[in-house]
Amino acid sequence: MNKNKSGLSSGGKTQPEIRPGDIWKDKHGSVVTVSEFARNRVIYYREGYSSPCICSPERLLRDFRLVTKAPPAPSSDLDRVMSVTGAERISVVREIIQERGKQK
């Protein structure tokens, strides 16, 4: 008896990641910008409103759709060094030293 593929081996996230700076749109076409994200709440600003709005991440994913993602945060020097292994680490450290020398 052959097993069918169960779909458990598929990759990727099913929901978009919520990050500060993301722009979302609700079903009425109102644009909101996420300012803060925590495990149990999302704080966002509606276009034209002066005070923040709060909702759960589940509600944001259910009632809004992602329009524009925020640019990724720049990685620190330590993150750059730890992301590679072996001889590549030496070249990354040299690049960091050269970049810091140019800044002065």
pLDDT in tens, 4-53: 666 555 556 667 789 999 999 999 999 999 999 998 999 999 999 999 99
* pLDDT reading at 56 higher than 90: yes
Does residue 91 sit in helix, strand or coil?
helix
- Output the six-digit token pair for 2: 């052959």
What residues pair up with 94 in beta bridges, in sequence order? none
CA distance 69 to 59: 18
Share of the chain above pLDDT 70, in %: 85
Residue 18 · residue 58 · CB < 8 Å: no
- Output the six-digit token pair for 72: 């990724």
Tally of CB atoms within 10 A around 2: 3
